Amino acid sequence: MIDFQTLKLSVNRLLGSHLSQWRPRFARSLDLQAKVILVLIGVIVPTFLIITVAQIKLTGPLLKDEIRQVGMTSGKTLAAEIVSARLLQFPNPTAAVESRLQEILFSQPSIMRIDVVAKDPTSGLIKVVGTNVEDEPGTVPPVVSLVEAVTSEYHAEEDGPSYWEIQVPIEQRSRDLKLPRKQLGAIRLLISTQGVENLSQTLWKTTAGAAGFSVVCLILGLSFFLRKTIENDRLLRRAESQNLELTEQLHETQRQLMNMEKFAVMGQLTASFAHEIGTPLNAIGGHLQLLSDEVSERGKERLEILNGQVSKIEQIVKNFLQSTSKPSSQRQLVDLNLLVEKSLGIIKPRTEAMGVEVHRFLDRHLGPLRAVPIEMEQIFLNLLNNSMDSLRAKIRQNHGKIKLLIEVKSQLTLEEGRPWAQIEIFDTGEGVPREDLRNIVKPFFTTKSPGEGTGLGLTICQQLANKHGGRLKIDSKEGSWTRVVLHLPFQSKGLPEV
């Protein structure tokens, strides 16, 4: 920080000297400004550099490890889906396996390559049953060997991208826990860490620009006050007071700026982390329910504990994602059918565990509309989870054989000369009493048992639908069915006419 008392005494001596000493005084004033500039450069630039290096060193390994965890989770999820759906037992499993690969690549764009190999039960040979990369003729395909546990290896090439190589075994568990697992094949997954390197480069550029801009602004501001202090003592005292206030404001602004940058980066990382672990958590919860039917009573108690802890994590992630609002500028053209399929894939473990039939009647000619994808997913997941909860409640009330069904329809309708997208979700659950339909979307109103619902799901869905210019219609018959219809308007600008 500048010693203004010493500066004041020096300038007073200069002002009290003879006029013949003008040139030495002018030279001293320039020398003082040069010292101030050097001090600013010596303080601000290293500070920005130290902060940036610390951020990169701290967040870089965490982000790389997070990418590794994403790759391992994707590989384990794919292996579990292959085993649960018995895809390797198909006469030609390639089509089914590669369809699963496309779903994973859509949700995880950082994945560069996935190879799935299977062990021939007769000959014992290893063969490739699915891959997302078509190798050029003459290229030696990568060798994928069977592994007994999940492995990961980091590759950093000088001329190529850095990536994690992850291998996951495809194993089939026996109901008898004492018997060894049957090894069916393996998955080799390459996931890029280029995003971490891009973030580091962005931090360096931002730091260089911010440091240069701050130095220039401070030099220009302080130079003006320094010149004023050399002219006379009265202006010197005023400049001293202004410089003190300005310096305090600059340091406070600098501290706030650094805190805001830290919070912004941490907020983005936390939001990304919460969104990324949401889908694996749902899959883990579904598979825990499936495992509860295959283990002993003691094992069921442990699985109930695990399931409870996973549910707590899911609720924390859900609350965090609901609390983060997205500006309207993030709207984009989205395929509602694709989002519906993605939402159905998330609840698939629950539907399989409960034996629920899922019927799709999706209009493949339904064009895209402009919306926020994550908000549309939030609506569909809330409505589908409500249907699953209603079916589960009906199972509790009816111990006999009942039909469990969920139907999802999408179609294009015309109302008052305007095109509307209509998404309908129908279930054969316990339904809603007629007198409760008028209050069903009010905050904190719920027909579920205590501890099973907060009464905010349909309220949030209604608000998100209204935000997009749409509406939510709910009809139900107690004890029989419930139908929820989401109406969303098409925006004519930039879209084809219907």
Q: Give the domain CATH number at 121.
A: 3.30.450
Q: Which bin fits 85, alpha (ψ -120 to 50), beta or left (φ > 0)?
A: alpha
Q: CA 214, CA 192: separation in Å to the nearest integer?
A: 35
Instruction: Specify the pTM.
Output: 0.37
> Do 259 and 244 share a structural domain?
yes
Classify residue 189 by burial, with Cβ atoms within 10 Å: 0-12, 13-18, 19+.
Answer: buried
Amino acid at residue number 309: Q
State how far the Cα of 394 lies from the Cα of 481, in Å rounded to an integer.
10
Q: Backbone dihedral region of 73: left (phi > 0), alpha (psi from -120 to 50 degrees) or beta?
A: alpha
Question: Which structure tokens are listed for 97?
Answer: 């396996």
C-alpha span between 77 and 88 (Å, rounded):
15
Helices 373-397, 297-323: axis angle to 10 degrees equals 140
Inside any domain, residue 128: yes
Distance CA(392)–CA(427), nearest Å, equals 11
Q: Please give the Cα distance from 183 to 88 (Å, whole number).
A: 12
368 with 408, same domain?
yes
Q: What is the mean pLDDT of each run of 10 residues along the chain (498 residues)?
A: 48 46 47 70 75 73 86 88 84 84 85 86 80 71 78 82 88 70 86 80 75 74 67 70 83 67 58 67 75 72 73 66 52 88 84 87 86 86 87 78 87 86 90 81 67 68 86 87 90 42
* pLDDT at site 13: 54
DSSP3 helix / strand / coil % (the chain, rounded to 5): 55, 20, 25
Secondary structure letter of residue 436 according to DSSP: G
Q: Same domain for 331 and 479? A: yes
Residue 325 confidence (pLDDT): 47
Pairwise CA distance, residues 139 & 12, whole Å? 82
Q: What is the dihedral of CA 230, 234, 235, 237, to 10 degrees?
A: 90
- Yes or no: say if 161 and 151 are a contact pair by the CB < 8 Å rule: no
d(C-alpha 102, C-alpha 92), whole Å: 17
283 within some domain = no
Last residue of a domain, one of 169, 194, 219: 194
Residue 462 falls inside a structural domain: yes
Q: What is the greatest pairwise CA distance in the chain?
A: 111
CA distance 308 to 285: 9
Are 11 and 126 members of one domain? Answer: no
Tell me which of 216, 239, 265 is where a domain ends: 265
Half-sphere exposure at residue 474, Cβ-oriented, CA atoms within 13 angstroms: 22
Query: Could you tell me how far CA 488 lies from the centroid of its own chain?
Result: 25
203, 241: one domain: yes
Give me the pLDDT at residue 453, please.
59
Residue 294 lies in a domain: no
**Same-domain check for residues 178 and 151:** yes
The Cα–Cα gap between 190 and 49 comes to 33
The answer to whether 101 and 114 are in contact (CB under 8 A) is yes
The parent domain of residue 27 ranges over: 4-54+198-265
Same-domain status, 215 and 178 = no
50 and 104 together in one domain = no
Tokens 């993030």 belong to: 330
**Residue with token string 């501890």:** 451
Q: Which residue has tokens 């590759």?
A: 155
Residue 423 forms part of a structural domain = yes
Inside any domain, residue 174: yes
Q: Are residues 476 and 338 in the same domain?
A: yes
Rounded Cα distance, 194 and 427, in Å: 44
Residue 353 maps to which CATH number? 3.30.565.10
**Residue 202 has what pLDDT?**
79
Q: For residue 395, what is the enclosing H or E element? A: helix 373-397
Domain edge (last residue) among 224, 239, 265: 265
Token pair, residue 325, equals 């609002």
Q: Are residues 204 and 186 in the same domain?
A: no
d(CA 485, CA 495): 23
Structural Rg of the chain based on CA atoms? 32
Examine residue 80 and state whether it is found in any structural domain, yes or no: no
DSSP assigned state of 293: T
Indicate if 393 and 482 belong to the same structural domain. yes
Please tell me the distance from the alpha carbon of residue 375 to that of residue 463, in angstroms, as a whole number: 10
Identify the CA nearest to 237 among candidates 25, 14, 5.
5
**What is the C-alpha separation between 424 and 407, in angstroms, rounded?**
8
Q: How much is the pLDDT for 22?
A: 42
**E strands of 159-307, at which residues?**
163-172, 182-192
373 and 485 inside one domain: yes
How many residues in total does the chain contain? 498
Residue 160: which residues within 8 A CB-CB, separation 6 or more? none
Could you give the number of structural domains in the chain?
A: 3
The rounded distance, in Å, linking the Cα atoms of 459 and 440 is 8
Alpha helices in 86-147 (DSSP H): 94-107
* Domain-located, residue 59: no
